[in-house]
Structures are given as C-alpha cells and as structure tokens.
Copies of this chain bind each other. A is one copy, B any other.
C-alpha cells in the first residue's frame, strides 16, 4: 500500500478539482499537523482516498519514492512547467527532488535537460539519470552558461528545486520569452521578481504544494517499467537504526546520500 504524503477527502471543493493539497479535511497533514509515518503501524486519516494499492510489479522501495518526491517533481516541476517534446529545460538543484525532475521530465521528451548544482557528485548522478548538460553554479556564471547551452535565448522551462532567492533568480534569468518558471522549492523569504524586464517576456511562473493527483499515473509507469524511482535510494537502514539514518541524511553531501530508506525491523 502506498501512503500519499497528502491526505484528501475526495469530497470538498478542492478535492473535486484534484487540488488535494488544499483539501478542507486533509492536505499536508502527515509529518506536519500530525506525526509522520516512521513507525511499524500507522493510522492514516481519510484512508479511503489517501492510500493506493500497489499494482503487480511495484515494490515497496518504489512506492516510498512515489509517496512524495516523485509527485512533487512531476506536478510542481514538470507538469506546471508544461514540458513539451523538444523543449529545452533547466533544472536548478540536483537534490532528490531535482533528480526526480530529471527522470520525470523525460516523460515528455525534452531535447535538452540542463542541471545546475554545486555538488559534483549530484551532477554526476544527474547525468546518469538523463541530464544532457551540467552546470556548476559555484562558478557564479551559471546564467551565462545556461543561456549559451540553450542557444542564446534561454530555456523553455526552468525548474526551481532549491528554495532560496539566488536559485529563483537564476531561473528567472534564463527563461526564454514564452517560457515557464516552475517553482518546486520551499521558500522562507520573499524573492525579487524582475518585472521591469519580465513584464514583456510572456512568461509564466507557477507555485504548487504537491497534490499527489498524479500518483496513479506514476504507479502505472513504474509497473510498466518506464520509471525506476528506486534509483534514488542510496542508503537503507532498519527502523531501529533510524538515528543513524538521520545522521547519514544530515551529512548528505559527504555520504553521497540521496534518499535514505527505513525498513521494518
């Protein structure tokens, strides 16, 4: 059984629009307004409409990835960015969400997937997962590099997968006229939106708390073999070893950790 990170009642006005993130009787509940699910047994609210049976061929490792990060990358990044075949896409941030965006962006056959980050290991993983071009943001010239890679005019879609003003700024700096900036990152501060130039650039900027409306689609893609989400699982620990798992995740760069899976004892 897959436990969605978003709880939905299926009946309220938001649920009727598949905007489960804002469900009147749910939304982002697990790990936010009540405890999360790192336990042997959990009681899930609105279970009838917030759990998904695993189809044959979908293992638990895949399922745990589909609970949150893959719907987030797909909905907030890829779908909101309206990636079309032959598009040029920049993904800023190669953490687990950014890497899940690299994988799910390919559902729509972009011509180019540029990934920008400052961690050489994560950039290497991005390449393995399908990125066509890598940009080191540590150089301070990432915007120029992305523009040059895209042929000068900028990218069709820029996905912000970090959550700080600098990375949002990079996205708005490299989007082509007519393009989309899809924000995925969780932000703690306002950002400066360059309307003095963007007002005339026909761009679209989107935000979204994941709705997990695409979970059934993702389950089918895993079952058919077109998506291997477990590729992002780098470490595994027993539940009784949870503190070590947190330490590993807390030092992710040095441990080369992407997603850490906890298993029942």
Contact = CB atoms under 8 A, between A and B. Distances in A.
A33 to B, nearest CB: 13
A226 interface: yes
A221 B85 contact: yes
A29 interface: no
A111 B223 contact: yes
How large, as a class, is the contact surface on chain A?
35 or more
- For this chain, the copies found in one complex come to 4
Interface stretch (A94-102, A204-212, A237-245): A204-212
A203 to B, nearest CB: 5
Interface stretch (A61-69, A114-122, A188-196): A188-196
Given A10-B10, A221-B85, A223-B111, A22 B178 contact: yes
A183 interface: yes
A21 B16 CA distance: 14
Nearest to A202: B208
Interface of A: 9-11, 13-19, 21-22, 28, 48-49, 84-86, 106-109, 111-112, 132, 163, 168, 177-178, 183, 185-196, 198-209, 211, 213, 216-218, 220-221, 223-224, 226
Given A199-B207, A200-B208, A204-B206, 5 more contacts: A86-B221, A86-B224, A107-B109, A109-B226, A200-B209
